[in-house]
Amino acid sequence: MNDQLMLLAGAWVPRPGRMEIRNPENGTLIGSVPRASAADVEIALDSAFEARRDARAMPAHMRASILLKAAALLEGDSESFARTIATEGIKTIREARLEVVRAAMTMRLAGEEAGRLVGETISFSQRPGSERRSGYFVYEPVGVVVAIAPFNDPLNLVAHKVGPAIAAGNTVILKPHGKTPFSAIRLAQVLQRAGLPDNVLQVITGSGAEIGDQLVSDRRVRMVSFTGGRSTGERIASVAGVKKLSLELGSNCPNIVMADADINRAANDCISGAFWAAGQNCLHVQRIYVERPAYDRFREEMVARARCYVTGPKLSDSTDMGCIIDENEAARIELSVHSAVKQGGRVVVGGMRAGTVMQPTLVENVPDGHVLMRDEVYGPVSLLAPFDNFEEAVARANAVDLGLQAAIFTSRLETALDAIERLEAGAIMVNESTDYRLDSMPFGGIKGSGMGREGVRHAMIEMSEQKVACFNRAVH
């Protein structure tokens, strides 16, 4: 990966200030990127703003062709991209390969949807006196989109922002995460090879603390798409001004296992959702509520599977789970487990760490008021808790100020439908853990989990404005 440049005003440029990028597994230096300044932000803003009319005028078939070619180029270089993801980030090579597959699918979906963003006719005659009026509305690009990406999916979540923005006719300023910029830079290079015109995409690298406010508050920016922590999201909302916001701020996902569920299936799905990407995942299976008659069996199944999970080198095909993004985060996760134990929790497997590797961990008897029950842990820690009836399970699931996704395992349709109606989340998974996302579905949360929706077509709508045309045929 070595030393990379950033993309400003159509050129890959160096800067004297650099940010070192290290492999979180062992601290090895793998390269560096420019540390952008306020002047660099202004270059990016100027370039994106000036190019917005050209991006808007680009025919839908051209946008589609570029995005579909980019998807094909991603697939053709999938193993190299997977190694980049696994080296700079927290995923194992097997997890990274799946991310590349999804990123190519996301870009392909964006290409396919580029020509499908169509409006609707409007029935003006529904109002008395408007019988001779007719018209329609269309979608137009917002203009300049600032996209700020997280570290946990450094390729696919970038694709989820850049692909729809281009498909909808916008220019994009991409700020990749400071710890995982290489995947985003490589995707930008792929888009250039696919024929993306200069200045439609800027890639600015640097510290969010140093350049973030300037990026999101500028009036030339018409939308900010951010995935990351709640405190940063709240900061963006406070300084952005009057513009569109799409904020995905994480969750503490509840998974309910009814006694009538297929327990083996529930355990398989929950264990994968608990430890995928070492739990650094907004859909992480964090709280698992199990109906009391099934609790002991489910607990045994989960413990047996957790003990089989292999931690080790990320680039080894035999490794199931990688590392935490840095040692401070790993220490925070470990301390939260110790705190839960002090308040009556019991570690049934795991609970310790070595450097940035945290053991796959299951904890039971954690008080409902503890931070692990309230907030997002962002690590490989899942909580087991019995419940006595469906009412209790729903009440405990809804008791936090987060609501991205929730899940229920049951064999009864009536129970599933009741859960869909009553659980407070942006999506409800039935006989599937919360760690499931289709890249075309509307994706986003309620309450403190954020605002707006991703999912390619839905993100394109968020990145567009509606314009109405009304014809008064009564005029002579």
Q: Are the C-beta atoms of 23 and 15 separated by less than 8 Å?
A: no
Share of the chain above pLDDT 90, in %: 99
Kindly give, in sequence order, each residue whose CB lies less than 8 Å from that of residue 397, ignoring residues fewer than 6 positions away: 254, 256, 287, 289, 406, 423, 424
Residue of 88, 99, 113, 248 marked active site: 248
Q: Looking at domain 2-249+449-468, which CATH architecture does it have?
A: 3-Layer(aba) Sandwich (3.40)
For residue 1, the model assigns a pLDDT of 67
pLDDT in tens, 300-353: 999 999 999 999 999 999 999 999 999 999 999 999 999 999 999 999 999 999
Instruction: Work out the pLDDT band at 245, boundaries 50, 70, 90.
Output: very high
282 catalytic? Reply is yes
Residue of 25, 282, 424, 462 marked active site: 282
For residue 475, the model assigns a pLDDT of 72
Instruction: Work out the pLDDT band at 275, boundaries 50, 70, 90.
Output: very high
Over residues 179-185, mean pLDDT: 98
What pTM does this model have? 0.96
pLDDT in tens, 352-378: 999 999 999 999 999 999 999 999 999
pLDDT in tens, 450-466: 999 999 999 999 999 99
Strand ranges, E, within 117-170: 120-122, 133-141, 144-148
248 catalytic? Reply is yes
Instruction: Work out the pLDDT band at 474, boundaries 50, 70, 90.
Output: confident
For residue 304, the model assigns a pLDDT of 97
Domain boundaries, the chain: 2-249+449-468, 253-439
253-439 under CATH 3.10.20.740, yes or no? no
Number of H helices, E strands in the chain: 15, 25
Q: What strands lie across the sheet with 464-472, from one edge to the other?
A: 120-122, 133-141, 464-472
Mean pLDDT score of the chain: 97
For residue 2, the model assigns a pLDDT of 84
pLDDT in tens, 53-67: 999 999 999 999 999
Residue 476 has pLDDT above 80, yes or no: no
Residue 222 has pLDDT above 90, yes or no: yes
